Amino acid sequence: MIRFGTAGNSDSFYEEGNKHTYQIFKWLYDKGLTAYEYSFTRGVRMRDETAVKIGEEAKKYNIQVSAHAPYYINLSTSENEKKENNIRYIFDSAKALKLMGGKRVVFHPGSYAKISRSTAFSNIEKALSEIVSIFKSNNLSDMLLCPETMGKKKQNGNMEEIMKLCEIDDMIYPTIDFGHLHARGIGAINSIEDYKKILDIMKNILSNIKYKNFHSHFSRIEYTMAGEKRHRTFDDEGFGPDFAPLAKLVKEKGLSPTFICESRGTMAKDAVRMKKDYDKA
């Protein structure tokens, strides 16, 4: 089942008088949306009772919940203490998500500064293998680890790297952020053929279940020569990529991804537009 939803709460959610995240699920349901990504942007500080309540509301309205682990995670580090902290951030995100009834833990793989790109990526592979072992020994083997394609050139997380990470274990699924790939490639996605190249890479490398059910982020995006600058909305003119060609391909190929809209403040409005593009395809 293909799903469309939001990363966090739109500005309009609060403008309509809502205050609590557990209220988002009926709000999304009323708009025809079926997915929601909770963002642990600056740390995992959720009480168990809150997570359980969120899970109950999500189940009531058939909303699939995922979680984005803290943005400052950097598995490429060579420092043991920092590596252990980063692993803990992902582990804590997964524990909270499980109480919310979700399975997909999205995270940024890392970036490199004073070490080479290859060394940084090797560190990420080793750390992720360790995380898989920790999950399997702590009753979290049913969770899915979803490393994200990244938008800046100096970040680990291009298509090749994410595909390699997905080969480590069956519980690792990709988060394909098409806006990030567009920005990383300095405006790389401009046609249905550009999308087809990305999906073909996935099909040739991933298992069928990962290919058909990948996790995805989508937004239009502003970029510089260094890559991603900021997320934009669908109403912002002059920014790509366009979702309609991707919707056509996904429908033609019979894929069932989860699309999480990350537009700047208008996530729900734009997710509804994405769903309409898919329905019309």
Q: Please state, in angstroms and rounded to a whole number, the distance separating the CA atoms of residues 80 and 63.
A: 38
DSSP state string for 37-83: EEE-TT-----HHHHHHHHHHHHHTTPEEEEEPPTT--TT---HHHH
pLDDT per residue over 167-203, tens digit each? Answer: 999 999 999 999 999 999 999 999 999 999 999 999 9
Helix residue ranges per DSSP H, the chain: 11-15, 24-30, 48-60, 80-99, 117-136, 159-166, 178-184, 192-205, 208-212, 244-253, 267-280
The packing angle between helices 244-253 and 267-280, to 10°, is 50
Q: Please state, in angstroms and rounded to a whole number, the distance separating the CA atoms of residues 132 and 135.
A: 5
Q: Please state, in angstroms and rounded to a whole number, the distance separating the CA atoms of residues 218 and 222.
A: 13
pLDDT per residue over 135-163, tens digit each? Answer: 999 999 999 999 999 999 999 999 999 99
* pLDDT score recorded for residue 113: 80
**What SS3 class is residue 106?**
strand
* pLDDT score recorded for residue 214: 98
Residue type, 252: E
Q: Which of 7, 60, 25, 15 is nearest to 274 (CA)?
A: 7
Q: Which residues contact 177 (CB under 8 A, 6 or more apart)?
A: 148, 149, 150, 151, 216, 217, 218, 262
In degrees and rounded to multiples of 5, residue 219 shows phi and psi of -165, 160
* pLDDT score recorded for residue 212: 98
* pLDDT score recorded for residue 25: 98
Q: Which residues contact 256 (CB under 8 A, 6 or more apart)?
A: 1, 2, 212, 213
Fold of domain 3-280:
TIM Barrel (3.20.20)
Q: Please state, in angstroms and rounded to a whole number, the distance separating the CA atoms of residues 170 and 210.
A: 9
In this structure, the number of other CB atoms found within 10 A of the CB of residue 144 comes to 21
pLDDT per residue over 209-266, tens digit each? Answer: 999 999 999 999 999 999 999 999 999 999 999 999 999 999 999 999 999 999 999 9
For the chain, the structural domain boundaries read: 3-280
Q: Please state, in angstroms and rounded to a whole number, the distance separating the CA atoms of residues 155 and 23.
A: 35
Q: What is the mean pLDDT of residues 57-68?
A: 98
pLDDT band at 42 (very low <50, low <70, confident <90, very high): confident
* pLDDT score recorded for residue 126: 97
* pLDDT score recorded for residue 90: 98
* pLDDT score recorded for residue 114: 82
pLDDT band at 94 (very low <50, low <70, confident <90, very high): very high
Asked if the model's pLDDT at residue 7 lies above 90, the reply is yes
